[in-house]
Every structure is written in C-alpha cells, then in structure tokens.
Amino acid sequence: MTRNLFFGQDILSVDKLTIEHINLAVETAKHMRQVVEKDGACDELRGKVMTALFYEPSSRTYASFIAAMQRLGGGFIPLQGMVYSSVAKGENLPDTVRTFESYSDIIVIRHPEIGAARIAAQFSHKPVINAGDGVGEHPTQALLDILTIQDKFGKIDNLTVTLVGDLLNGRTVHSLSKLLSLYPNVKLNLVSPMILPLPRELVDLLKTRKVNVRELYSLEDAAGETDVLYMTRVQKERFTDLESYEKVKNHFIVNQDVLSLMKKDAIIMHPFPRVGEIDMEVDLDPRAVYIKGQMANGMFMRMALLYLILKKVI
C-alpha cells in the first residue's frame, strides 16, 4: 500500500511538497489518464462534493477541476465570478468559506489577493486547494507542468528550463520554479522585461537550493540550449498603469525564427491564456505541447489531487 501523503491536506502553496509528494501525484495522474482513456470515468469519489469558489476569471483551471470531480463520480458546487452569490451583497471570505464547507468535502478557491487561500483554510475544517491567489502561487498548475515535462523527458534533473514573460506577477512560474528547485542539476533561465523580473526573494531561494539561475533579457540568447521553453503572458490585470503594460506586452514572441534556434527535442509550454506570446503557426510544431499535453494534463492532475486528498486508502 502506498503512503498517501495528501490525505486530508490543504494545498496552499508548493512549499510543503517534497519529491515524494510530486512522484505520488504524477503517478496517480498517469493512472487517472488511463482510467479516462479506458472508461471515461469511475466512481471513486461518489458521495463527495467539491466547491469551486472562483473570484477571478478562469477557463482551464475551473473547467478541469469540475470535469475532474465529475469523472471521479463526485458532485460539485460551481461558483464563478461570485456575482450571483452573497459575495455580491458584501459577504466576507470567512463567512463564504464556512457556508460552503457545510455543503461540501473540499474547497477549491481562486482569489485576486495573495494569501486568500491560506485565510480560507484557517476558517475551513475541510481541505482547501489554492487555484491561484493573486500574484502568489498556483500549485496545481505547477504539478501539472511537472507531469507534462516528465511525460516528455521521463525526468526533471539535468534539464535546462527557460521561463519567459511576466515573472514578477505570474503565479504559475512562482510555483513551478520552486518545484524545479527540488531536483538536482536544473538550469533555469529567467527571461523577462526589465520591469518584470522574478521576485528577488524567490531568486535567492532558488540559488540557496543550488539551482543554476541566469537572468536574461533576450529569448534568442536562451533558445538554443533550452529543453523546456515555458512562455507566460504579461498579467495585464496586475498593472495599475496601462501605459507600462502596453510597453512590455509584446516583448517576447515565439515564432518560426525562435523555433529555428531551438533543439529538435525541446518542448514549448504555456499555462494559457496566451495573448500573442506564441504565434498560432507554432501550434503545428511537434515541440508545442501546450494544447494536447499540458492542457489535458490539467484534468488528470486535478483528478489525482482530489482523489488523494479525499480518499484515505489508495
């Protein structure tokens, strides 16, 4: 019997995750992929209910959590935008959380404020999953990203990963860079506009963990040595001044020219939505895994996490 490290636990950030957690999540997600390919669904979580509490826009995270719960045979309370809930009448987060924990077994929350998932967890007796807290973290995205990299390379160690775009505000790269730092000999290229670097404390943490970190301002300089090219959009909603956004929004674009510099067996990833960082023609390149691999993996990884958190014996 495998030790279920996730049972009853919150997932608020990647900070408490170890290689053992990641391996368990990845193996379970691969199993879920087989279940879906073979039967479409199972009834492992019959009788369980998930609340999806989304205070910020979402397509993939929201839909994949809901599809994941459905394919596990569970139910869900879908709350997106919160305009039709009591939040629109001014209800505070603790009251909202205490309401929905009364009806469900797990709460998945996305919120514009950093630390909101942690506050939700303080008020909930049921496990809470952070589906993105402002410019903080997005742990389930990072886990599905690791699954996607492992699907291609069968490992993480010794890879050169290039993170590109809004590294300051992008929560996916905050979580992913920390997970990558758990593996030996990872080389990390950080490519961002000058005003959007990875937060300094995070760069320092990565260096303490012996990651070979390089900060660059040109995608072309990193493309040739990259195994995993991870593109992100500039997070418009985090800017107070739209003029600055306009200046940096189209800084880095993957097109045929960039493709021609890249290794034949590299992969290109993007958490999506893309708003111009990857030309549509790149979708046809076999190195593009953001739609077929990464997007689909979102549901498999979320199935795995819901199953592991809610099912004591696996």
Q: Binding ligand NCD by CB under 6 A: which of 13, 28, 51, 61?
A: 61
Q: Binding ligand NCD by CB under 6 A: which of 30, 31, 60, 98?
A: 60
- CA distances to 53, 54, 77, 132 from 83, rounded to whole Å, are 12, 11, 15, 19
CA dihedral 12, 131, 299, 40 (to 10 degrees): 90
Of 101 and 144, the one with the shorter C-beta distance to ligand NCD is 144
Q: How many residues bind ligand NCD (CB under 6 A)?
A: 11
Applying the rule CB under 6 A, the residues between 202 and 231 that interact with ligand NCD are none
How far is residue 304's CA from residue 314's CA, in Å, rounded to a whole number? 11
- CA distances to 44, 45, 117, 144, 148 from 269, rounded to whole Å, are 31, 31, 26, 11, 9
Q: Binding ligand NCD by CB under 6 A: which of 21, 138, 187, 251?
A: 138
How far is residue 277's CA from residue 163's CA, in Å, rounded to a whole number? 12
Binding mask 161-200 for ligand NCD (x = CB under 6 A): ----------xx----------------------------
Please state the closest distance from residue 38 (CB atom) to ligand NCD, in A: 27
Which residue's beta carbon is nearest to the bound ligand NCD?
271
- CA distances to 180, 229, 231, 254, 262 from 284, rounded to whole Å, are 28, 16, 17, 13, 15
Residue type, 157: D
Q: Is 238 in the site for ligand NCD (CB under 6 A)?
A: no
Of 187 and 289, the one with the shorter C-beta distance to ligand NCD is 289
How far is residue 49's CA from residue 231's CA, in Å, rounded to a whole number? 34
Of 91 and 246, the one with the shorter C-beta distance to ligand NCD is 246
Helices 93-101, 116-123: inter-axial angle, 10-degree rounding: 50
Of 187 and 269, the one with the shorter C-beta distance to ligand NCD is 269
Binding mask 261-300 for ligand NCD (x = CB under 6 A): ----------xx----------------------------
Q: Is 233 in the site for ligand NCD (CB under 6 A)?
A: yes
Of 131 and 259, the one with the shorter C-beta distance to ligand NCD is 131
Residue among 231, 226, 180 nearest 207 (CA): 180
Q: Is 111 in the site for ligand NCD (CB under 6 A)?
A: no
Please state the closest distance from residue 58 (CB atom) to ligand NCD, in A: 6
Exposure pattern of 203-240 as b/e (b: 16+ CB <10 Å)?
Answer: beebeeeebebeeeeebeebbeebbbbbbbbbbeebbe
Please state the closest distance from residue 163 (CB atom) to ligand NCD, in A: 13
Q: Binding ligand NCD by CB under 6 A: which of 74, 127, 132, 193?
A: 132
Sheet holding 49-54, edge to edge: 75-80, 49-54, 106-111, 128-133
**Interface with ligand NCD by CB under 6 A: which residues?**
60-61, 132, 138, 141, 171-172, 232-233, 271-272
